[in-house]
């Protein structure tokens, strides 16, 4: 099997490397490629693993690829339709899978950092819980990666599920994981990180997604469909370079008025490093 991994390089998702590390049959792309190269690589692969930071619209390039927005998006969905064993690991990946009717193992919102935990209604979560969740999740996925998605999902439910009995972070993540069934379930509006878990205020809608992701969509910050979601995922997630420690700050792509309004509604952390 020829396996392809698309994992944009950044310092906050390094634990996911354990999923594919040391595999001779795996091509890993962490940046530099353009969309044509990515499409060709997907087409040639027997299995595609996509992981990192993302939204319902796809996997973010976080500035690592020669693409204007997401590295995995509408333009790659047609090629992924031909795969039945893909792995989608990013926040809200299940929305992308459902919209395009894709098959494979997918996460929903995935809490992997302490700032995300508080935003998702887990104020008592500790860094130890986060680390334990991240490490076990990566370990289980790695060991069952060669199995079909339903078997992988069953293993995650069994082994990661044991941790979920005592770890609220794992419990939150687990209930949002699923196997894409190949049936398209388009949603007219995806709500990305909308409610403050503490204040319950409805956050404003800004046409910021076009600046951030290189497309013309406006992402609504309305009430989430199921759980409180982190506003930081798209309009303030601080990412930094593994080597150079460069921080991508929300203030780079939000106006002063937008920053002030979000801060007044209880999202004051959003412009700071996680």
- pLDDT, residue 24, reads 87
Share of residues in the chain with pLDDT > 90 (%):
65
- Residue range 160-181: average pLDDT? 98
- pLDDT, residue 58, reads 96
The SS3 of residue 126 is: coil
pLDDT confidence bin for 260, thresholds 50/70/90: low
For 134-202, give the DSSP string: HHHHHHHHHHTTTS-HHHHHHHIIIIIHHHHTT-HHHHHHHTT-EEEES-----S--B-S-B-TTT-PB
* Proportion of the chain in helix, strand, coil states, percent, rounded to 5: 35, 15, 45
At a CB cut-off of 8 Å and minimum separation 6, what does 254 contact?
Answer: 206, 208, 235, 236, 262, 271
Q: What is the pTM of this model?
A: 0.72
- pLDDT, residue 261, reads 56
- pLDDT, residue 80, reads 98
Residue 86 scores a pLDDT above 60: yes
Delineate the domains of the chain, giving CATH numbers in brackets: 3-181 (3.40.50), 209-271 (no CATH)
- pLDDT, residue 121, reads 93
Residue 93 scores a pLDDT above 80: yes
Q: What does the mean pLDDT of the chain come to?
A: 77
Q: Between residues 114 and 238, which one has the greater pLDDT?
A: 114
Residue 63 scores a pLDDT above 70: yes
Residues 141-144: contacts with CB within 8 Å, 24+ apart?
A: 141/19, 141/87, 141/89, 141/105, 142/18, 142/19, 142/20, 142/21
Q: Between residues 49 and 239, which one has the greater pLDDT?
A: 49
Cα first-last separation, the chain: 38
**Residues 61/73, Cβ–Cβ less than 8 Å:** no
pLDDT confidence bin for 232, thresholds 50/70/90: very low
């Amino acid at each position: 099997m020829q396996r392809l991994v698309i994992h944009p390089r950044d310092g906050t998702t390094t634990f996911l490397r354990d999923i594919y590390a040391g595999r001779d049959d795996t091509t890993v792309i962490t940046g530099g490629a353009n969309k044509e190269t990515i499409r060709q690589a997907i087409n040639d692969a027997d299995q595609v693993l996509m992981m990192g930071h993302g939204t319902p619209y796809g996997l973010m390039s976080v500035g690592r690829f020669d693409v204007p927005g997401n590295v995995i998006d509408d333009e790659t969905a047609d090629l992924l339709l031909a795969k039945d064993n893909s792995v989608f690991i990013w926040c809200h990946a299940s929305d992308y899978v459902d919209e395009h009717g894709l098959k494979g193992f997918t996460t929903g919102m995935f809490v992997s950092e302490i700032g995300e935990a508080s935003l998702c209604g887990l104020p008592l979560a500790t860094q130890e819980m986060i680390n334990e969740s991240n490490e076990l999740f990566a370990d289980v996925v790695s060991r069952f990666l060669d199995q079909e998605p339903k078997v992988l999902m069953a293993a995650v439910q069994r082994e990661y599920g044991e941790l979920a009995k005592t770890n609220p972070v794992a419990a939150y993540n687990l209930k949002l994981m699923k196997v894409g069934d190949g049936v398209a379930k388009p949603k007219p509006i995806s709500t990305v990180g909308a409610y403050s878990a503490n204040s319950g205020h409805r956050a404003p809608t800004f046409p910021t997604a076009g600046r951030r992701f290189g497309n013309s969509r406006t992402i609504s910050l309305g009430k989430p469909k199921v759980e409180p979601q982190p506003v930081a995922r798209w309009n303030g997630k601080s990412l930094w370079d593994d080597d150079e420690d460069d921080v991508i700050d929300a203030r780079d792509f939000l106006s002063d008025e937008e920053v002030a309004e979000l801060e007044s509604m209880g999202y004051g952390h959003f412009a700071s490093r996680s």
